[in-house]
Amino acid sequence: MRGRSRTAGQRGAALALFALLPGCYIDLDGLTGGGAGGGGLEGPGPGDPDRCAPAGCDGPCVVAAAEEAGGPAAIAAAGPYVVWTGRAGDRVRRLDPATGAVEDLVSFTPSPGLLAAEGGLVVWVADDGLWRCPVDGCAAGATSLLAFAPGEAEAVRGLAMDARHVYWTRDEPSGTAGELLRCPVAEGCGATPELLAPSQSHPRGVAVTPGEAGEVVWVQRGTGAAFGRVLRLDKGSSSPTTPAQIAVLLDFPEQIALGDMDVLWTWAHPDGTAGGVFRCDLVESCAAEELAPQTEPARPLREPAGLVIDGADAYWANRGAGTVMRCPAAGCPGYPEVLADGLTRPAAVAVQGACVYAVDEAGGGRVVRAPR
């Protein structure tokens, strides 16, 4: 695990800033290199002590807040940028990490929510449908992939994409007629998306391998404890197809991430008291195991969200514990590394360059970053 050292002068400066910022939690253990690394928010200068400096990856610090953040809901790395949906401003925002500049990628899209990116293309869910835009810009306007009727956007529970298709899960109240669907990102769906898996019981997160060939995996939350499943389809399968069962009898699985040879998923009890991250090899009837079986008592895995695999590591946010964590995707040999703490219900993460970015609810919503 990577520690972070601070001089006595820096510690004193942090204490002084804390006195000026009653609403900001600063973890002094993190500032002095104690604990498992990470820390509360700190920043580059006394004029705006929590604001990230452009370029590099000092921190943890604030990338965008208030009106500039626009009520962020979901976040992703896209090409050289970081993008997020802003529900408060009905727009999609774009950050250039090299300069720190934040601007609109799309200036209006009604109530945007889930977001996915692959290469230089961004796809998101809005109240009126599925949309796409190149991350370099869409001056002529975003392109519609599929129009939604009123209320349909709320049924979309997971979104992922590769270079050819966007995949999503659709839930419905009975728990017997959920679906896994997909749509070509180049030409759109027309009026009818492709149905890959019908009769799904409360499907949630979905993930897909990025290349031409590979897998699509998703979770079913089922109708209660011990009804959850992790399922898999070959992307080349004709549809609809009976999926393979990777893991069954799971408690409340929610989000999922796919590595080269393994799959990870989060679970969270509905009352928020417990949660965790599991992993297994990408084979049928896998032997599931906890990704991080040991955690510090003061930094639990509670309501984990925003799971991402990047290279050999997995990253996620703990909504109920206010932390962003990292572990090897093959499993943590000890405590997971805490990259940032003192956050307010962080909900989504993205990895770009040397940084990990997270959506945080403090102050009406903001985007924060920390060294990865």
Q: What's the confidence (pLDDT) of residue 108?
A: 97
Short-list 302, 339, 307, 308, CA closest to 324: 339
Q: Report if residue 1 sits inside a domain.
A: no
Q: Do 279 and 288 touch, CB atoms closer than 8 A?
A: yes
Inform me whether the pLDDT recorded for 45 exceeds 90: no
Residue 366 exposed, middle or buried by CB count within 10 Å (0-12, 13-18, 19+): buried
pLDDT reported for residue 244: 94
The Cβ of residue 238 has, within 10 Å, a number of other Cβ atoms equal to: 7
Q: Does any domain span residue 235? A: yes
In angstroms, the CA 70 to CA 350 distance is 17
List all residues 6 or more positions away from 350 whose beta carbon is below 8 Å from its beta carbon: 75, 76, 77, 82, 308, 356, 357, 358
**CATH code for the domain in which residue 344 is found:** 2.130.10.10
What pLDDT is recorded for position 58? 81
Asked, for residue 43, whether it belongs to a domain, the answer is no
Quote the pLDDT of residue 144: 97
pLDDT value of position 116: 98
278 in a structural domain: yes
- pLDDT at residue 132 tops 80: yes
Q: Does residue 48 lie within any of the structural domains?
A: no
Q: Give first-to-last CA distance, the chain, whole Å.
A: 11
Which pLDDT band holds residue 37 (cuts at 50, 70, 90)?
A: low
Contact 42, 15 (CB under 8 A): no
What's the pTM?
0.87
Question: Does some domain include residue 16?
Answer: no
pLDDT at 12: 36
Q: What is the pLDDT of residues 159-187, one digit of tens each?
A: 999 999 999 999 999 999 999 999 999 99
Consecutive H or E run containing 367: strand 366-371
Residue 135 lies in a domain: yes
Whether the per-residue pLDDT at 316 is higher than 70: the answer is yes
Structural domain count, the chain: 1
Q: What is the mean pLDDT of residues 304-310?
A: 97
Domain that holds residue 178: 57-371
Q: Answer yes or no: is 52 within a domain.
A: no
